[in-house]
Structure 1
């Protein structure tokens, strides 16, 4: 550890914190040979009275899903039964212990968090992950999830990673220890200690300069040179990178070894698990004698203990590089012969051992791909299928397997590999269906990789080509095209929703239509025949979705169905479908769907006047974003800030969101931002500003939902700012939809808006009609606004006593909601009638953070710590740690007292 005193101090502090009951996560980054593994060894040696578990990424294992995670968890699989059932099932499926649907990656991450927390209950736990740049993608993401959620579990998690790209994935949120070369004095001392005989000063200086303070280079470069080179300095560095020169040095150290020893090292390099038993079984199969390991151990190239360990990963690479193709095939064949308990590794070794096409092996690899897919290992499935295709003798079957490999690589997020495979597919002379599926994959690749504006036209072209070949797939592709074009909205270039709709309407109808087919028919009618003509089929679509079983097969289109409900002013369907979307995403652990489901549900709750619940959902969405490392544009946050009347916060959110939305190519986000701005300004009574924002929100009716709401804001803002003609024009556009929809929400909003542009006494029955229509609906915020507008009209008519009734009702509702700007607007109007309404401050919850408040609410609702942890992506131990802080802040000592200490509105706030 020469020259690493500061780095050792960092690790010592981490260890001290873990022993004290706090969790810590650290990234150690640096080039090959810089000393990362040595620091992990130092930490492991110092971690007395702690349990230490280790894993290491292996380059040849990168395609095996959860391989790295299995290294960490294998000794503790007997603890899986202690986990909540969804987490236990997800981890069991990931490790191939049970057959099920592919586990959600982040549910596996939550299971890992719970498992590590459970282990740490016995004694502090140190997890060391070396060569993290070579972890399989699934393990890397699960471990990154855990590192973001660690807090009070007595767990220390340390990643050592070589490349910057790996560091960006694994450690962007962590404290980071960036290792650089040793200082000159330490480098000289280390090099001097590595020499077996004195060196001339120029040669010593040349090696010192070449190593640039890299400890492994300082130790290995002298070993890699001949005596003549060491004496005269004839080994010029040239243009070979340092890692390459160290690998060349290892190659030179291999050359003097006996052939049997080199072959044994090749087995160890190819067998990635480090299983000593498998190593010797394969060696015996190849006739390698037991004594073959001795020369390698004497040269300190390899260590055969409980596991096989190379002196350095570069040595493993050098061993593989030194072998010829025939030797590699023979070693893979031997490993396939002895690895009998793991059919997937056996299939992989058999595939690498093949010298030419072999349908039996190709079929075995394809079956392994199916198993990998079941466990969520899309990268592994792609690797198996790609090798399967390479070994497939029959051209059409080879093309099908290549296409399946490209699909798996796309699901794994390996976009460059997907593009290369699609190029190979095209060179295989695909049949018509395969060619159409290639087009579809290219379109999906464009949308997934960059939300490219090319996605919608590519999806449309793929759908058209698929029509005569696979009707069901073609219709699903049209829905995908709608989805892409709808999100792009006003930022769409080229193909728009109308063109997609016209093409979809001409598509054949399958003999047994599904709900998705009815949804496609409804969207096609909306964007071709218009709103009024499409409304009847739209209502049938919503009823069909509400009546279907809440199975996973129906979740794919729930967002499209939900936004259709909002566009049709169907508050009951909107409530039901958004609730189902959120519930299903939670229960199945589909964290990839959960952010969109949460933001959609937040808006539903805001229209219902449930701002407290919406705020809790927003905190949950932040927890999901923090846990997964990603998020969608902050639609829910924008709407909540507007309803709360928090102008500064709303402005900051909008400014940040606009850059993100435009970068994502989400035109629908622009409409949401403009609608929420109009809503905010109407609440504040700044009607001229509201007009500008509402006009922009309403100008793109193809962006469903928010564009309609923009029209309602425009009618109010324009009528209040004296722009009657603009208000009337907006009302006529609004009426065309609301009369067709004929729901209570639609008719209530239309009557309220028409009253705003109606003169004299004729306005009063319209206000009463609006209240009558809105009272039984779920959109209580719309009802409160109807009371407010009616009360304002009555006051202006000089009927102050009548006005007070409705202004008081509006004020009380807005205060209960937490709608600050609208409640203040109602208070001012009440004051103008001669009645004083005090500014009511929401009940305090102490000095609780948002997360503490959310935990307190769930605890008060009698949820257990594991249940709270599962919902908020925390370990039960961290939940307990937060609850202790809550009890202290509120001055209570039990959950029963907690119920009394929290406001009833907080305790009653629902998760949905």
Structure 2
């Protein structure tokens, strides 16, 4: 065993256990964390040696290459790119775009899914071990894709081991299993030092080395090597920080080399690719002879690939060089870089070679940023733009580049850097448009940070006011941005009030103009006046306005009780998300579409979409969107399941608490727990939330009537009637009619409700109309007619899986003297949402590979889920799934 692994038996065991599990088809990942020199690279070396039957793929992050999107992933996949042809076309295209083989904008997570497919093809022949050193320097796009991959290999013969240098962090890897490496204990440290130094050593010198090294293995090995025992005995003063000690050790060894050898190492350190062809061409331009490699071989290997003996050796070689030598190295590398095949690396080398402002290089970096963004490398684009701004002297272009860099940094989650760039931009002379852009970016920053008393809408409204005189169309768009933000975080009322000062709309007005004017009218004049403006545009679900403000469109569709628009807007967002591969847009669309399906009564489809959204969230490390689950739990009516979900959401606080109030009202009415429903519905309505308070009104009417709160019921009915008549859609008119029937005891209103809802896809609301009418008939002693309505309600609600309302219908049927047919247990009741989704896909004829691609799993994982599904349902084949209730 390598002497640098003395005292690492536990850590070696953990890594080898990961490899053994992967060998048996139980893949996984492990992130080694620790200070420089603590033994991470040595553990990676040991892992490579222990995986003799594996294909070992090893790469390293480079601090100087973080600007290049998918750089490390490309290095990793290079040896297996022949397998691209076996991937589904969208996955193949995603990787081709990421690696510069095609044009487009891939989502890093789609690239991750494609990489998973590529590796699955590879491990058909032999297991795979991926080793990633210095992972804190991974480019952002590679880090996200590799983190995605690491979360999805549980059923594959794939192991990934990352090494991350503390105190740096790699946020994308933070959620993966980790192993922190600490300093060696005194016994192990003494044993390592004894193995490294064969000569007799003065005890006082040994004690000092041990004390200064603090158990760091590389420090224990490097200090005596660089300082010499005499130097240690003579009182050699070590820096207080071990990483500095180690780097100083490498620097001391560099000082013993000739100027040519040091310059060669500087060039090698400045080139992250490690390509010997580029290195020697650049070295030739600098007059460095090949003989220098022999002298430098103690610190770097000059073979088929350039590799330093340790990441800190590379860092030391670069930082120990004078600024002039670093610039010369980058200048030489730029001269040998192909401007056609590698323009971005050329721009980067030229930028590092610049001693001061250089507009030509700054413009080149700006072009590189555009190319990087087109390849999905937002982090790279941000870095290029930031460097471009630093090289720009003219105030106007510098401000533009700073703003563009801030926007890119914000998009990749580097919020503190974005704030610094905005502060830098504010020091330049700015026009109104640039000041408005700063306000818009500060608004987005405030929204994602949600710190202190900052209100995102304040910044957005300020931007709108700035632009009112010079760009009315943009000003009005800013007001709509503020309104949608207000919908998402609460506090829409003040935003709408401010929007009354918006500049007049263009002639003819656009769809966005209609939405803005309609929302202002809704708040100031009521639903009847605003519906004439809003109803036509909300009804056009395909209008471009909803592509930019989808949440607003969705909530307005609910407000107007327009299910066609509700479904249409959501379906469009899903389609756009699938087409673009956006793992930001697709989950939003799926959550919306699932919610629309819940209200239509297609609870199985809703569960399927929620499962897909959760699969994306799990794969990307994001938090799943909880509101569709709240809506589904309310309609399914399973008390224990709903109570647990609602408690968790309420404990977390935030906007979803209002959704829980509405859902609690629905659940309470289903369970005939009318006091609980009344209290929850009252809280949901009082808040005045767009869309949600409208949905809560019929629940409030029903609960208030059952609790004898007649005045409250009548007041809620008046508000509900104004809204549903203004919307003039069958869903709202039907719900309004049965609410009116509850308050007035008018049988014609019950019949009207059934007539309106019978022609709609709103099956749950149609069933509830029959249930309420049947209950009314039973209380009037008209049992035969009541049985007919209650039987219809029970059959509908049972078939939909709305347990609470179905049980209520069954109880009412028993009160008429008829026993409801017992509800056969549906297969869906026994499965998790993900299992149900897989079962429905397989029942529809999808193969394991197709299901895996859709849910970002491996085929082996899908097969494991299928075995569990078969066990739960007592099945033996895929064909049997097709005939099960609740599956197809």
Q: Which residue of 2 aligns with 1:127?
A: 130
Q: Give 1:182 shift.
A: 2.3
CA contact under 8 A between 2:574 and 2:590: conserved in structure 1? yes
Provide closer, same or farther for how the CA distance between residues 754 and 893 of structure 1 changes in structure 2, counting only shifts above 3 A: closer
Q: 1:153 corresponds to which residue? A: 156
1:165 Cα offset (Å)? 6.1
1:65 aligns with 2:63: no
Counterpart CA distance in 2 for 1:366 and 1:512 is: 37
Match of 1:480 in 2: 481
Distance in 2, Cα, partners of 1:281 & 1:512: 63
TM-score, normalised to structure 1, is 0.93
Q: Give the Cα separation in 2 of the matches to 1:305 and 1:512.
A: 69
Q: Quick one: which of 512, 522, 528 aligns to 1:532? A: 528
Structure 2 match to 1:222: 224
The answer to whether 1:27 aligns with 2:31 is yes
Question: Per-residue CA shift, 1:363-407, capped at 9, x if unaligned?
Answer: 211111110111121121122122222223433222212221111
Q: 1:436-469: per-residue Cα shift (whole Å, max 9, x none)?
A: 2122212221112337741011111012212334
Query: Residue 440 of structure 1 contacts residue 458 of structure 1 at CA under 8 Å; is this kept in 2?
Result: yes
The one of 494, 497, 509 aligned to 1:496 = 494
Indicate the SS of the match to 1:783: helix
Q: Partner of 1:747 in structure 2?
A: 733
* 723-732 or 596-605, larger mean C-alpha shift: 596-605
Is 1:509 equivalent to 2:490 in the alignment? no
Tell me the equivalent position of 2:331.
Answer: 333
Cα distance, 1:512–1:881 mapped onto 2, change above 3 Å:
farther
CA-to-aligned-CA distance 1:447-493 (integer Å, 9 cap, x gap):
12337741011111012212334444333322221111111225x7x
Q: Tell me whether 266-275 or 10-19 shows the greater mean CA deviation.
A: 10-19
Which of residues 585, 591, 613 in structure 2 aligns to 1:593? Answer: 585
Contact 2:112–2:149 under 8 Å retained in 1: yes
Q: How does 1:33-44 map to 2 (within 5 A)?
A: 33-44=37-48
3-state DSSP class of the match of 1:678?
A: helix
Paired position in structure 1 for 2:290: 290
Corresponding residue for 2:112?
109
Deviation at residue 631 of structure 1 after TM alignment: 2.2
**Given that residues 486 and 497 in structure 1 are in contact (C-alpha distance below 8 angstroms), is that contact kept between their aligned partners in structure 2?**
no
Q: Secondary structure at the match of 1:156?
A: strand
CA–CA distance in structure 1, aligned partners of residues 107 and 514 of structure 2: 29
Query: 1:277 maps to which residue?
Result: 277
Cα gap change, 1:846 to 1:792, in 2 (>3 Å): closer
Structure 2 equivalent of residue 192 of structure 1? 194
Cα distance, 1:597 vs. partner?
2.0
Unaligned runs of 5+ in 1: 908-912
* Residues in 2 aligned to 1:142 and 1:746: alpha-carbon distance in whole angstroms: 45
Alignment: residue pair count:
881
Matches for 1:290-689 after TM superposition, within 5 Å: 290-297=290-297, 300-340=298-338, 341-450=341-450, 453-489=454-490, 496-503=494-501, 506-510=502-506, 514-546=510-542, 555-662=547-654, 666=655, 669-689=656-676
**Hey, what's the Cα distance between the residues in 2 that align with 1:767 and 1:74?**
68
Residues 881 and 887 in structure 2, CA contact (< 8 A), matched pair in contact too: no
Evaluate the alpha carbon distance shift between residue 829 and residue 894 of structure 1 in structure 2; reply closer, same or farther with a 3 A threshold.
Answer: closer
Q: Which residue pairs with 1:860 in the alignment?
A: 843
Distance 1:193 1:231 in 2: 19
Task: Measure how far apart 1:892 and its partner are.
Answer: 5.4
Distance in structure 2 (CA, Å) of the matches to 1:654 and 1:259: 69
| Residue 813, structure 1, aligned to residue 796, structure 2 | yes
2:579, 2:849 → 1: CA distance?
A: 15
Distance in 2 (alpha carbons) for counterparts of 1:694 and 1:888: 41
Structure 2 residue 773 is matched with structure 1 residue 773 = no
Q: Deviations over 1:330-377 (max 9, x none)?
A: 111101001113100001111111223332222211111110111121
Deviates more, 1:199-208 or 1:165-174: 165-174
Query: Shift in Å at residue 171 of structure 1?
Result: 4.2
Once residues 733 and 195 of structure 2 are traced to their aligned partners in structure 1, the CA distance between those partners, rounded to angstroms, is 88
Counterpart residue number, 1:731: 717
Is contact 2:251–2:320 with CA below 8 Å preserved after alignment?
yes
Q: Does 1:142 align with 2:128?
A: no
How far has the Cα of 1:868 moved from its partner?
1.3
Report the CA distance shift for 1:544/1:815 in structure 2 as closer, same or farther (over 3 A): closer
39-48 or 873-882, which moves further after superposition? 873-882
> Partners in 2 of 1:888 and 1:837 — Cα distance?
30
Deviation per CA, 1:691-746: give whole Å up to 9, x if none. Answer: 11001100122x22211111110000000011101101111111111121111111
- Cα displacement (A) at 1:619: 1.9
Deviation per CA, 1:15-47: give whole Å up to 9, x if none: 222222222222222221111111111111121
> Post-superposition shift, 1:889?
6.0
Matched position secondary structure for 1:584: helix
Runs (4 or more) in structure 1 with deviation over 4 Å come to: 510-514, 845-850, 884-894
Per-residue deviation, 1:181: 2.1
Q: How far apart in 2 are the matches of 1:473 and 1:282?
A: 50
Deviation, 1:183, is 2.9
- C-alpha distance in structure 1 between counterparts of 2:681 and 2:829, whole Å: 38
SS at match of 1:160: strand
Question: Aligned in 2, Cα 1:164/1:816: closer, same or farther, shift over 3 Å?
Answer: farther
Residue 276 of structure 1: how far off its partner (Å): 1.7
> Quick check: 586-595 or 107-116, which moved more?
586-595
Partners of 2:242 and 2:258 in 1: CA distance: 27
RMSD across aligned C-alpha pairs, in angstroms?
2.2
